[in-house]
Amino acid sequence: PENSEVMIGVYNMLGEYVAEVTNSTYKAGKHELEFNSNDLGQGTYFVRMITDNFTATKSMNILK
């Protein structure tokens, strides 16, 4: 509910950072981002969002 710097990154199953989705400051509210996975192979990845007061990690499966 407040302006914050947001970092969203993609990690492989080994925990290695493989892609950046965003690393910017966003105003309060809902936002949508598009992520191009063409450079990643098929498999399971983790998407982590980090802000000043919040961290969340979700799994993502890429099928080609």
> The pTM is what?
0.89
Q: Residue 48 in 3-state DSSP?
A: strand
- Token pair, residue 64, equals 């080609």
> What pLDDT, on a 0 to 100 scale, did the predictor assign at position 1?
75
What is the mean pLDDT, run by run of 10 residues, along the chain of 64 residues? 94 97 95 94 97 95 94
First to last CA, the chain: 36
